[in-house]
């Protein structure tokens, strides 16, 4: 029986250049894309945009070892079980004939495999501009017997040309019956290097035997050391127009969820707050001409949009 050694690189240095994720935003798993396996009769596999799974790799490895095509999937789009929006990511375990069962993996980095050592590992992540205090996600978890799910997070510095892990955190989960915000505190091993990337790895099982553990993931965020919470990759399209604006600023958000609009002066003084859903209008006629900053936050006060607006009378 073949055995694939799974290794989540949470505490080691990956000595290779990484590719950060610059794809469309997708922290709530609202957007999915279809990939087709090339070595089988055309078989579509749907994965969340901007995220990586092991599904294509899993099928390729099975074909590599057996020369037999197979279509297996561990991460699915769930439109019925979700925390907010239209969908979440559902992780289950894969069981292939003659192979040890493999859990579902979901990461905002890139999934890699070393065939010389049968090692699965991850590189890259999402760019960040400052150090992270904690990483969070809404999770619902239904384990098989005494199984455990894992959320692993690493903070990466890339200034030396390689992925250098400077901070990390990990949480093991038992039963989580309803969507619950799970926080992962980050501990740093280097006090000087700046944070450039954050990488999440979700795994629905650590069992070595076939299991039916199911993990749902939604609304991924992080909180900086300055106390600002931001969506990892915002998937809600938000527009503010006209820009420049003379009197009425229109805010449109393609979301049914309740959001909060905040308008600031450039020195950080808040001058307008508005709770809204879908759309709202802000009268700026009484504000002085100049450049302003606005944010849009979700129900957890996580920033999902941050930009400037020019008021010109």
The domains of the chain, with CATH numbers, are: 5-231 (2.60.120.260), 238-311 (2.60.40.10)
Give one DSSP letter per residue of 209-244, joined into a string: S----EEEEEEEEEEETTS-EEESS--S-EEEESSS
Distances (CA, A) of 173 to 141, 146, 183, 214, 227: 8, 10, 11, 12, 25
Distances (CA, A) of 192 to 117, 167, 187: 33, 11, 13
The answer on pLDDT for 91 being more than 90 is yes
Q: Give the integer Cα–Cα distance in Å for 260 and 163.
A: 36
Is the Cβ–Cβ distance between 270 and 306 less than 8 Å? no
Burial of 269 (0-12, 13-18, 19+ CB in 10 A): exposed
Query: Which residues touch 156 (CB under 8 Å, ≥6 apart)?
Result: 18, 125, 163, 164, 165, 166, 195, 196, 197, 198, 199
| Of 4-18, 93-107, 179-193, the least confident | 4-18
- What's the count of helices (H) and strands (E) in the chain, helices before strands? 1, 25
Q: Which whole number is the average pLDDT over 70-94? A: 85
The answer on pLDDT for 9 being more than 60 is no
Give per-residue pLDDT as tens, 211-260: 688 999 999 999 999 888 888 766 567 888 899 999 999 998 877 778 89
Q: How high does pLDDT run on average in the chain?
A: 81
Is the Cβ–Cβ distance between 156 and 131 less than 8 Å? no
Give one DSSP letter per residue of 78-117, joined into a string: ESSS-SSSS-EEEE--B--TTB--B--EEESSEEEEETTT
What band does 7 get if pLDDT is binned at 50, 70 and 90?
A: very low
The label of the residue with tokens 């561990």 reads: 74
Is the Cβ–Cβ distance between 63 and 115 less than 8 Å? no
Q: What is the pTM of this model?
A: 0.74
The answer on pLDDT for 74 being more than 60 is yes
Q: Give the integer Cα–Cα distance in Å for 61 and 45.
A: 16
Query: Which residues touch 160 (CB under 8 Å, ≥6 apart)?
Result: none
What band does 133 get if pLDDT is binned at 50, 70 and 90?
A: very high
How many residues does the structure list for the chain?
313
């Amino acid at each position: 029986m073949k055995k694939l050694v799974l290794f989540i690189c949470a505490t080691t240095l990956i000595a290779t250049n990484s590719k950060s994720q610059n794809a469309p935003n997708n922290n709530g798993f609202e957007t999915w894309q279809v990939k087709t396996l090339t070595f089988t009769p055309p078989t579509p596999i749907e994965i969340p945009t901007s995220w990586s799974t092991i599904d294509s790799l899993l099928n390729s490895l099975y074909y590599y070892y057996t020369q037999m095509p197979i279509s297996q999937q561990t991460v699915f789009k769930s439109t019925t079980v979700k925390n907010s929006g239209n969908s979440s990511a559902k992780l289950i375990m894969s069981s292939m004939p003659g192979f040890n069962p493999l859990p579902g993996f979901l990461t905002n980095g890139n999934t890699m495999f070393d065939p010389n050592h049968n090692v699965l590992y991850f590189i890259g992540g999402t760019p960040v501009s400052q150090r992270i205090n904690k990483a969070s996600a809404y999770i619902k978890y239904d384990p098989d017997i005494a199984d455990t799910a894992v959320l692993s997070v690493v903070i990466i510095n890339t200034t030396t040309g390689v992925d250098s892990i400077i901070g990390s955190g990990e949480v093991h989960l038992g039963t989580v019956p309803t969507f619950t915000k799970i926080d992962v505190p980050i501990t740093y091993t280097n006090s000087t290097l700046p944070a450039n990337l954050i990488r999440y790895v979700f795994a629905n099982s650590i069992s070595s035997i076939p299991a039916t553990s199911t993990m749902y993931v939604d609304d991924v965020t992080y909180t900086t050391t300055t106390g600002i919470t931001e969506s990892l990759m915002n998937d809600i399209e938000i527009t503010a127009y006209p820009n420049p604006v003379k009197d009425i600023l229109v805010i449109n958000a393609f979301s049914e969820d309740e959001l909060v609009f905040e308008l600031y002066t450039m020195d950080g003084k808040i001058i307008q707050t508005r709770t809204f859903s879908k759309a709202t209008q802000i009268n700026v006629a009484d504000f002085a001409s100049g450049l302003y900053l606005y944010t849009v936050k979700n129900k957890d006060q996580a920033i999902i949009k941050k930009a400037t607006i020019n008021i010109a009378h």
